[in-house]
Amino acid sequence: MTDITITDFVGSAWWLIGGALLLGFIVQTVQQRRARMAGERSRAVSDRATGAVLGSAAGDALGAGYEFTNPGPDREIAMKGGGGFGWAPGEWTDDTQMAVAILDVIATGSSDLDAIASNFLAWYEAGPADVGNQTSSVLGSAAIPEDLAVVAVAFMDANPGAAGNGALMRTGPVALAALDDRTEIAGLAGSIASLTHAHPDSVAACVLWSLAIQEAITTAEPGQAFDWEAAVRNGLEHVAEDRQEKWDALITEAVTGPPGLFNPNGWVVTAFQAALSAIINTPVPAEQPSDHLRDALVAAVRIGHDTDTVAAIAGALLGARWGAGAIPDEWNTLIHGDRRRDSEPVPGTELEQLARKALNA
């Protein structure tokens, strides 16, 4: 048996206290580091989530002045407004107006379809300057929000070949409603599309694009590579089984390009392919990779025809990957537009706040 003296005991106690203090220090340092990393990650995620909304608005406003034209390679692409509807420089069009109608609901923490349908109808009844044929036909035939999906199916039955790009153009904010749940995003993207565009190809396009946006927002860390094609293809398992093979082939066609192949692009399929093709076939600049957002949006407009819509679609995914911070300052200061024709114009800063609210709702 060993005798323990008081001196030994006090010495051991000091060792224990010292050890406990050191352990506490280490635990605290690790926790602080984790909290800092989480903060940085959430800031990056937040930038990319707002980027999905603002990038789409930027593409829309960039393409607005060139709608239904085919700008040649020598023509400068600038956020100059004009076009067939006399847009102001930086003003977004119906694509973003309808995205705002969706975002306004998501920002309240809801994804209630009747509330979104109600916003669509209020937007339509206020007399938008521009509205697509299919959207106009459906919204003009529904008396109440609850009717919308039924009217959209009736439109599809009466016009089996019609599948315009009008739902895909506004799908940018949908992923923000359920960033951690891909099944929920797929369901929502399909249901929101079906309020006006019930065709299975319209639904498939919105599901694939919304899931690619989700993947970009949640995984595309700065400085790391991002596989655009894989991100789009990864959504195929959420597409109706009888459409998967078709969309797999359509994606292959789009990445093979060239982008000019996807004009005209009023059809949801070619609009989707045009946007994906512009993104994939535009090189990522080595010096400032995030300039890819600007370059690919210019490429999207250069494809021609429905320029604002193709660039709005491309902008949602580009913004989700590169973040709102990648939007050039000269565009950011100009971006604005209507919520409805009878309401106060929405500045870009308000759109950004709305996207943040939707993300945190």
SS3 content of the chain, % helix, strand, coil (to 5): 70, 5, 30
DSSP 30-91: HHHHHHHHHHHHHHHHHHHHHHHHHHHHHHHHHHGGGTTB---TTS---S--BGGGTBPTTB
Beta-bridge partners for 82: 87
In the complex, least distance from residue 314 CB atom to Mg ion, rounded to whole angstroms: 14
The residue of the chain with the least Cβ separation from Mg ion equals 93
Cβ proximity to Mg ion: between 18 and 345 the closer is 345
In the complex, least distance from residue 35 CB atom to Mg ion, rounded to whole angstroms: 43
Cβ proximity to Mg ion: between 99 and 188 the closer is 99
Could you give the CA distance from residue 69 to residue 75 in angstroms, rounded to a whole number? 12
Could you give the CA distance from residue 143 to residue 359 in angstroms, rounded to a whole number? 31
Cβ proximity to Mg ion: between 56 and 93 the closer is 93
In the complex, least distance from residue 130 CB atom to Mg ion, rounded to whole angstroms: 5
In the complex, least distance from residue 79 CB atom to Mg ion, rounded to whole angstroms: 14
Cβ proximity to Mg ion: between 93 and 196 the closer is 93
Cβ proximity to Mg ion: between 57 and 217 the closer is 57
In the complex, least distance from residue 305 CB atom to Mg ion, rounded to whole angstroms: 12
Which residues lie near Mg ion (CB under 5 A)? 93-95, 308
Cβ proximity to Mg ion: between 39 and 84 the closer is 84
Query: Encoding tokens for residue 136?
Result: 């106009």
Contact assessment for residue 248 and residue 236, using Cβ atoms and an 8 Å cutoff: yes
* CA-CA-CA-CA dihedral for 21, 27, 29, 33, to nearest 10: -170
Give which of 358, 326, 356 is closest to 58, Cα–Cα.
Answer: 326
Cβ proximity to Mg ion: between 131 and 185 the closer is 131
Cβ proximity to Mg ion: between 93 and 210 the closer is 93
Measuring CA to CA, how many Å separate 298 from each of 19, 95, 99, 116, 346?
61, 17, 21, 31, 24
In the complex, least distance from residue 45 CB atom to Mg ion, rounded to whole angstroms: 28
DSSP 119-184: HHHHHHHT--S---HHHHHHHHH-SSGGGHHHHHHHHHHHSTT--BTTTGGG-TTGGGG-TT-HHH
In the complex, least distance from residue 256 CB atom to Mg ion, rounded to whole angstroms: 27
In the complex, least distance from residue 307 CB atom to Mg ion, rounded to whole angstroms: 9
| Half-sphere exposure at residue 33, Cβ-oriented, CA atoms within 13 angstroms | 6
Contact assessment for residue 234 and residue 211, using Cβ atoms and an 8 Å cutoff: yes
